[in-house]
Amino acid sequence: MMNGNKTTFFTLFGATGDLTYRKLIPALYNLHSLDHLDQGFKILAIGRRDYTTQDYHDLLRPWCEKFVRTGFNERVFDAFLSRIEYVQMRLDEPEDYGVLKAIL
């Protein structure tokens, strides 16, 4: 996963779904906690729900506490959250893709 100084956006569609909460976010936390993600690795969480990034971060805590395999650590979790940005987007609305394009 190391790529020097470049920013890598891991774009996660369906960011408010069960698979994301139970498997994907905990797995990414594990990689982060083991220092297997480059400094520029960012997670762009795409969902239909009207959340702010802070709302989304608050939702992730109990899932990570329950499902991470490397052990939950508050300091590590806070650093992990700095990688994650939540974006509300409707996949069936072409104009919403402009938001995604602007970020990427």
Residue 25: domain span: 8-103
Residue 5, pLDDT score: 63
Residue 6, pLDDT score: 82
Residue 3 lies in a domain: no
Q: pLDDT-derived band of residue 76, with 50, 70 and 90 as boundaries?
A: very high
Residue 2 lies in a domain: no
- Length of the chain equals 104
Q: How many alpha carbons lie under 13 Å from residue 99 in its C-beta half-sphere?
A: 15
In the chain, how many domains are there?
1
Residue 60 carries which DSSP code? H
Q: What is the chain's Cα-based Rg?
A: 14
What average pLDDT does the segment 44-70 reach?
A: 97
Distance CA 81, CA 77 (A): 6
Residue 3, pLDDT score: 52
Residue 65 lies in a domain: yes
Residue 54 lies in a domain: yes
Residue 48 belongs to domain with CATH number: 3.40.50.720
pLDDT(1) > 70: no
What average pLDDT does the segment 7-17 reach?
A: 94
Q: Count CB atoms within 10 A of the CB of residue 55.
A: 11
What average pLDDT does the segment 42-46 reach?
A: 97
